[in-house]
Amino acid sequence: MNKRGAITLFIIIGMVFLILFSLGIYFQNYLTQGVRVTKIQDVPNELKPIYNYVTSCMEQATKEAIIWNSVQGGFKEVRTNQDGGLISMPFTVTNDLGDSTFFNIPFYVYDSESVIPTKDELQKQLSLRIKSFVLDCLDFSNLNYEVTAQPLQLEVNSEMYEDNIIVKMIYPIEVKIGETIKTWSLFETEVQSIYPELYQAAKEYSEYQAANDNLICLSCIRDLTEIYDIVVKTAEVEDYGIVFHESDEEGNFIGLDPVPDHTSQILYFFTKEEYGGDNVTFMFVHFFDIEDEYKEDALDLLPIPKQVTEAGYLYSYQVEAVGNIKGYYDNTELFEIDELTGLIQFTPAETDIGSYIVTIGIVSEDEEMRAEKMMLDVVKSFNEPTIEYIDYQTAYIGDVYSYQVIAGVNSDEELGEITEAEETIFTYYDDTDLFNIDEKTGIIGFIPVEENIGEHTIRITVVDQNGYVGEQEMTLFVEEEAYKELE
């Protein structure tokens, strides 16, 4: 079965690459959410250089955050409902070199229901993005001041107005000036942007669409472009259907062709100018379930909860479906679902670590299809091998030296505690010519000779059956028998 996402972008793809280029122009900082900051007082003259430096970072971070969040419909995080289900559309753009950039574009309308995010949601998401960008930008070591900051106490609040965004930030700092220490924590900046206006336009259009079922109002789009002086472009995204609207060479809509037995997701691009305005292009999705009235209730694919698996360990999941099922399919190269049984089974490698959104589908004997999105996180192994701490060791010439290296798996990473793993097979290695550790048991045994006298730093390595490695250094002193008698 061919694995391909049926994304028909055509001329739109050039616009998406332009968005990615504009995203690359910026890249530094973010913010947190909903913290009300009191009105900022006059800044003391001696602190103005620091204040101006921080607010310039805030302004830069805000501009970058606006660009990134606008591409994802106002969101930094993947938008989900209370049950953890996606209310966003995975969207991938791949350049000529094969490098991919992943987005999750939120739904504003889903099957005739409004799921438009509120202004408050967008402000919180913008604050989240700005917070991290700010932290990346700030580097007081480049200034001629001795500054102590409290990044863990950083709090950010962004407020959207008609054509600007005000960002207020609490960031406690201490500045040493001579023998005195000055403190400050309140910062504020304002950024002019079309971002709030594009959101308002998307909100108004989506409200109208939600009230009109699957009927797309072409005149509404035209009116919207005149009211807000914006450019609107669309792309059709199909899981297993076909495009049901067309446009002419000038981008004007010329007709609709609703086709039964499929779903459709229309991706909207709102911007101020033909090629991106001030680098802000607001993207959101309307989802249409065109096949509702044609469905046979007998065919159904049950929702798949979010999955987490460790690299290096076997992962198995049984997709559950009912009906006259002909076969199962997926759209990922990460694994191959069993076409007949719907069993997913594979062992991810370390190179597979990351988050994936996979389409899992079923096909009936009548060629009907159903699909669900599966969120899968491949994480670093929680059970990497660990060697118990080896204290300083002393061996004496002519005496048998023996030591048992103990390996296990992490049980508490912060405390460094380990536990034995009954099902784990360890192989032991060393990097010394003094002895050969027993590969199976981890026992070290040898009789030192005179030429071994001195201090030896030895690295002991343990490898589990999945190829994960743990290491520990041991320091071994080889001494003469006389030293032993003195003890």
Asked whether residue 189 falls in the same domain as residue 110, the answer is yes
- Into how many domains does the chain fold? 3
Residue 1 has pLDDT above 60, yes or no: no
More confident of the two residues 95 and 298: 95
Residue 486 has pLDDT above 70, yes or no: no
| pLDDT tier for residue 291 given thresholds of 50, 70 and 90 | low
Give mean pLDDT, residues 429-443. 94
Residue 66's nearest CA partner among 99, 25, 114 is 25
pLDDT of amino acid 34: 36
Domain final residue, candidates 278, 294, 310? 294
pLDDT, averaged across the chain: 80
Residue 371 has pLDDT above 50, yes or no: yes
CA gap 163, 194 in Å, rounded: 6
Q: What are phi and psi of 307, to 5 degrees?
A: -115, 140
Most confident of 11-20, 251-260, 322-331, 410-419: 322-331
Asked whether residue 206 falls in the same domain as residue 330, the answer is no
Give mean pLDDT, residues 205-229. 83
Asked whether residue 134 falls in the same domain as residue 219, the answer is yes
Domain final residue, candidates 379, 396, 427? 379
Give mean pLDDT, residues 116-129. 95
Locate 167 and state its tokens: 């960002």
Give every CB contact of residue 402 below 8 A, 6+ residues apart in sequence. 443, 444, 445
Asked whether residue 396 falls in the same domain as residue 275, the answer is no
Q: What are phi and psi of 117, to 5 degrees?
A: -70, 150
Asked whether residue 62 falls in the same domain as residue 202, the answer is yes
In tens, the pLDDT along 410-429 reads: 654 433 444 444 567 899 99
Which of 24-33, 155-164, 227-236, 357-366 is predicted least confidently?
A: 24-33
Percentage of the chain modeled with pLDDT above 90: 41
| pLDDT tier for residue 212 given thresholds of 50, 70 and 90 | confident
CA gap 470, 465 in Å, rounded: 12
Which of 46-60, 90-104, 326-340 is predicted least confidently?
A: 90-104
Asked whether residue 364 falls in the same domain as residue 265, the answer is no
Asked whether residue 404 falls in the same domain as residue 262, the answer is no
Mark residue 249 as left, alpha or beta (left: phi above 0; alpha: psi -120 to 50; beta: remaining).
alpha
Residue 247 has pLDDT above 60, yes or no: no
Asked whether residue 307 falls in the same domain as residue 436, the answer is no
In tens, the pLDDT along 253-290 reads: 444 443 344 567 888 889 886 544 467 889 999 888 76
Q: Are 37 and 157 in contact (CB under 8 A)?
A: yes
Whole-number CA gyration radius for the chain: 30
More confident of the two residues 227 and 220: 227
| Local structure of residue 312 (DSSP, 8 states) | T
Asked whether residue 261 falls in the same domain as residue 174, the answer is yes
pLDDT of amino acid 253: 44
The CATH number of residue 315's host domain is: 2.60.40.10
In tens, the pLDDT along 302-323 reads: 888 889 998 888 899 999 988 8
Does pTM top 0.75 for this prediction? no
Residue 154 has pLDDT above 60, yes or no: yes
Asked whether residue 392 falls in the same domain as residue 375, the answer is no
SS3 for 128? Answer: helix
Domain final residue, candidates 337, 360, 379? 379
Asked whether residue 104 falls in the same domain as residue 232, the answer is yes
Q: What are phi and psi of 31, to 5 degrees?
A: -150, 175
Residue 219 has pLDDT above 90, yes or no: no
| Local structure of residue 99 (DSSP, 8 states) | -
Give mean pLDDT, residues 184-213. 92
pLDDT of amino acid 213: 74
Asked whether residue 306 falls in the same domain as residue 328, the answer is yes
pLDDT of amino acid 428: 94
| pLDDT tier for residue 144 given thresholds of 50, 70 and 90 | confident
Which residues form the domain of 279? 1-294
Residue 47 has pLDDT above 70, yes or no: yes
